[in-house]
Amino acid sequence: MDKQRLPRAFKNAFVGILYCVRYERNMKIHMIAACLAGCLAWWLQLDRYEMLILLLTISSVLVAEMLNTVVETLVDIVSPEVHPLAKIAKDVAAGAVLIASIISLFVGYILFFEKLWR
């Protein structure tokens, strides 16, 4: 394996992440929510397992949002005109983000509510 490939692969991955954060409104919202949840977790001193659950939940939302961006971009390339199947692909990808986000709210409630109102 060429030694330049691995650093280039990491650079490209970071470029992709930065693209989403910079240009995707919902990714900005998810990143702000993730930072707030992280700060709250630190303040409430979540234990190791609670923190792992929080990190997995946050990462699932961020990954879902990035995959949604991939689907939307690919659909726009393949089908620049309005097409019912293109709409289905975009709607399903957005639905995946919605499910991950709703579940993350439940996880946040379970992790934080009792500790906040003791």
Task: Compute the distance between CA of residue 83 and CA of residue 79 in angstroms, rounded to an integer.
Answer: 7
Domain with 68, as residue range(s), is 5-116
Work out how many domains the chain is built from and give that number: 1
pLDDT digits (tens, 9 = 90+) for 72-102: 999 999 998 999 999 999 999 999 999 999 9
Q: Region 19-32: what's the mean pLDDT? A: 97
> Under 8 Å CB-to-CB from 57, ≥6 apart: which residues?
103, 104, 107, 108
CATH number at residue 78: 1.10.287.3610
Instruction: Determine the pLDDT at residue 118.
Output: 77
The answer to whether residue 65 is catalytic is yes
Three-state helix/strand/coil letters over the chain: CCCCHHHHHHHHHHHHHHHHHHHCHHHHHHHHHHHHHHHHHHHHCCCHHHHHHHHHHHHHHHHHHHHHHHHHHHHHHHCCCCCHHHHHHHHHHHHHHHHHHHHHHHHHHHHHHHHHCC
pLDDT digits (tens, 9 = 90+) for 37-71: 999 999 999 999 999 999 999 999 999 999 999 99
Choose, from 24, 50, 65, 72, the residue flagged as catalytic: 65
Q: Region 11-39: what's the mean pLDDT? A: 97
